[in-house]
A and B are shown apart, each in its own frame.
Chain A
Amino acid sequence: MATVWVFGDDVDTDQIVPGRYAPYMKSESELGKFPFIEARPEFAREVQPGDVIVAGRNFGCGSSREYAPRALFIAGVGAIVAPSFARIFFRNALNLGLPLVQADLRGRVVDRQPVDLDLARPGLRVNGEWLALPAQPEWLRLAWAEGGIIQYYARHGRLPVEATS
């Protein structure tokens, strides 16, 4: 079963994937092993597809390095829930199809607790309790549904924002 990983405020991209572990420096095929490799090595070792990150404010601050969200995406992270995200990280995740949900679940979940994520409703079931997540704008759901803005653009020749405006 998927589990919750709890992080604090201001998780920076140097923590998520240090610059020394970029695909440019290592090899692309290793990227999925690198999220939080130094900041929280047990995450890099034990993260499972569908796991959910619950964090504090300003998740993903710092560098524009897309390999930070991509490492989390490749590792199979199902969603990141935080009260706010750094803007470049937000765009990168949206382009990749890694769902970011703006909500504050700190104090509602415990680190490494089993979790069921349902992005369609959307919400999380933790310890038998349903934690509702805010509904997302239509264009954002379109992007997620097609695996990110880039995939959406490749298929439709337009941006999701244009489909709903």
Chain B
Amino acid sequence: MAERAMTLAEQILSHAAGHPVQAGDLVIVEIDRCMSHDSLTPEVIDALQGTLNTERVYDPSRVAVMIDHVAPAASVATADAQVRVRRWVREQGIPHFYDVGAGVCHQVMIEERLVAPGQIAFGTDSHATAYGAVGAFGTGVGSRDMALTLASGRNWLRVPETVRVQVNGRFRPGVSPKDLSLYLCGLLGLDGADYQAVEFHGLDWLDLDGRETICSMTTELGAKAGMVPPTGPAVADLDVPEWLGVQPGATYAREIVVDLDSLEPQVSVPYSVDNVVPVTDVGEVPVDLVFVGTCTNGRLGDLRAAAEILRGKHIAPHVRLLVIPASHRILTAATADGTLSTLLDAGATVGTPGCGPCIGRHMGVIGAGEVCLSTANRNFRGRMGSPDGRVYLASPETAAASALAGRIVPATTR
């Protein structure tokens, strides 16, 4: 049977729909995995119990709940909300619950193998696109969408067109997956892939950490899903369904080629993620806070890359270096292999695994006039605290080099 070649997104949604679908179709499909975090779960519970009048979630075994957005609680209001979430999780018999300190939801989902190749996963968080690192169709939804999915086990989706990114070459020293993501943001803009999926080709060699970074960052292009085909050593131990894989001749909305051999360190300048320049063009920007962490760049490879640059040195006077490992497992591994002590010796301080100050709620928010160089994913005005603070986004390598220099510099010229 001569079947039309499909993109990864079309394959996964066709499999779920039970018939071949193509970009533009509306489908109603079972949602294999649901992740909900502390920030939106109270509203999910409200919608389930109030509007939908649903006593029990459809299938607790598909559900994971995480406390990461304000972890540990920073106020009585957030503590009370977390009490309610924990009680609800117990009442519903939800087996996958990760409390304060376990880590950022997306990291935990992938680390704990709660999401698998070929699955459709919804998360109450826009960076759920990260699940594409293991070849899943991960996408962010709001609290009512999550409530509807928890009540019925399914939801509707428009099958997205796909942007194909062909990546050639290898990162040079001091350049890493975040630079690829920021470069794409600058090239395509905040809506460069709105309603679309992004598929990365030529990255068979890339480790899981890097795949998570680039898949999570596709949401900054407006993407519905970001995926690296699940092939290569990084995913060798995962169970990839036989029907899932790159099909030559699939129809793509757009094709982009990036040559890593000539990619320079990139930085996103406030107040927009797509306001990207090579670090060497950013000018003289002194920094107050350097933040290494989040679902974008708080993984072991990120911490090690920063530690390599900081080893035996000390951060500049008047600079604060905040490191927040993306998970408990990462914190444990970074402790065991000496990464953490290298960072501490260089003058870093370490926070509880979780989202940290990324959303401007606690654990290192910035004040008026302060400049933060962050390895996170957004620098909109007010994102990390004061609307008069400024957030620059870059890789862990650039962050470490900048903490040493006291101003934004690439790691390549140290």
Chain A contacts to B: CB under 8 angstroms? 10, 12, 14-15, 18-20, 22-27, 38-39, 57-58, 61-67, 69, 84, 86-88, 91-92, 95-96, 148-151, 153-154, 159, 161-162, 165
Binds A, one of B4-12, B137-145, B296-304: B137-145
Chain B residues with CB below 8 A from A161, complex form: 26, 28, 156
Do the beta carbons of B142 and A95 come within 8 Å of each other? yes
With A64-B126, A154-B51: A25-B222 Cβ-Cβ less than 8 Å = no
A27 to B213 CA separation, bound complex (whole angstroms): 33
Q: Which residue of chain B has the shortest Cβ distance to A18 in the bound complex? A: B382
Chain A nearest CB: distance from B77 CB in Å? 6
Do the beta carbons of B361 and A66 come within 8 Å of each other? no
Apart from A15-B382, A150-B148, 4 more pairs, CB < 8 Å: A12-B272, A24-B77, A58-B191, A65-B142
B341 interface residue per 8 A CB criterion: no
The contact of A25 among B40, B77, B382, by CB within 8 Å, is B77
Chain B nearest CB: distance from A39 CB in Å? 7
Do the beta carbons of A64 and B140 come within 8 Å of each other? yes
Do the beta carbons of B39 and A20 come within 8 Å of each other? no
Chain A residues with CB below 8 A from B195, complex form: 87
Do the beta carbons of B51 and A151 come within 8 Å of each other? yes
7 chain-A/chain-B pairs, Cβ below 8 angstroms: A10-B191, A20-B385, A39-B381, A58-B190, A66-B40, A86-B194, A87-B195
A159 to B156 CA separation, bound complex (whole angstroms): 8
A64 to B385 CA separation, bound complex (whole angstroms): 18
Chain A nearest CB: distance from B271 CB in Å? 9
Do the beta carbons of B147 and A150 come within 8 Å of each other? yes
The contact of B380 among A12, A58, A64, A162, by CB within 8 Å, is A12
Q: Which residue of chain B has the shortest Cβ distance to A165 in the bound complex? A: B26
Do the beta carbons of B361 and A19 come within 8 Å of each other? yes
Chain B residues with CB below 8 A from A58, complex form: 190-191, 194, 222
Q: Which residue of chain A has the shortest Cβ distance to B46 in the bound complex? A: A28
Chain B nearest CB: distance from A15 CB in Å? 6
A69 to B381 CA separation, bound complex (whole angstroms): 18
Do the beta carbons of A150 and B52 come within 8 Å of each other? yes
Residue interface mask B329-369, A partner, CB < 8 A = 1:
00000000000000000000000000000011100010000
A161 to B27 CA separation, bound complex (whole angstroms): 9
CB interface residues, B 52-103, toward A, < 8 Å: 52-53, 69-70, 75, 77-78, 81
A148 to B50 CA separation, bound complex (whole angstroms): 14
Do the beta carbons of B28 and A15 come within 8 Å of each other? no
Do the beta carbons of B142 and A87 come within 8 Å of each other? no
Chain A residues with CB below 8 A from B194, complex form: 58, 84, 86-87
Chain B residues with CB below 8 A from A23, complex form: 42-43
Chain A residues with CB below 8 A from B126, complex form: 62-64, 88
Residue interface mask B30-50, A partner, CB < 8 A = 1:
000000001110110001000
With A67-B43, A161-B28: A10-B145 Cβ-Cβ less than 8 Å = no
Q: Which residue of chain A has the shortest Cβ distance to B359 in the bound complex? A: A19
The contact of A14 among B69, B143, B191, B378, by CB within 8 Å, is B378
Chain A residues with CB below 8 A from B26, complex form: 161, 165
Chain B contacts to A: CB under 8 angstroms? 26, 28, 38-40, 42-43, 47, 51-53, 69-70, 75, 77-78, 81, 123-126, 128, 140-145, 147-148, 151-152, 155-156, 190-191, 194-195, 222, 224, 272, 359-361, 365, 378, 380-383, 385, 387
Chain B residues with CB below 8 A from A86, complex form: 191, 194, 222
The contact of A87 among B39, B124, B222, by CB within 8 Å, is B222
A86 to B70 CA separation, bound complex (whole angstroms): 25
Q: Which residue of chain A has the shortest Cβ distance to B358 in the bound complex? A: A19
Chain A residues with CB below 8 A from B191, complex form: 10, 57-58, 61, 84, 86
Chain A residues with CB below 8 A from B155, complex form: 159
Do the beta carbons of A24 and B28 come within 8 Å of each other? no
Chain B residues with CB below 8 A from A19, complex form: 39, 359-361, 383
Chain B nearest CB: distance from A114 CB in Å? 30
Chain A nearest CB: distance from B226 CB in Å? 13
A12 to B387 CA separation, bound complex (whole angstroms): 14
Do the beta carbons of B52 and A65 come within 8 Å of each other? no
Do the beta carbons of B43 and A66 come within 8 Å of each other? yes
A69 to B40 CA separation, bound complex (whole angstroms): 14
Do the beta carbons of A87 and B224 come within 8 Å of each other? yes
A27 to B124 CA separation, bound complex (whole angstroms): 20
Do the beta carbons of A154 and B361 come within 8 Å of each other? no
Q: Which residue of chain B has the shortest Cβ distance to A83 in the bound complex? A: B191
A14 to B391 CA separation, bound complex (whole angstroms): 13
Do the beta carbons of B222 and A61 come within 8 Å of each other? yes
- What 8 A-B pairs come out closest when comparing CB atoms? A66-B142, A58-B191, A92-B142, A19-B359, A95-B144, A14-B380, A64-B140, A64-B126
Do the beta carbons of A162 and B28 come within 8 Å of each other? yes
Do the beta carbons of A64 and B381 come within 8 Å of each other? no
A154 to B151 CA separation, bound complex (whole angstroms): 10
The contact of B148 among A12, A67, A149, by CB within 8 Å, is A149
Do the beta carbons of A88 and B361 come within 8 Å of each other? no
The contact of A61 among B42, B147, B190, B387, by CB within 8 Å, is B190
A57 to B360 CA separation, bound complex (whole angstroms): 26
The contact of A38 among B43, B128, B382, by CB within 8 Å, is B382
A22 to B74 CA separation, bound complex (whole angstroms): 14
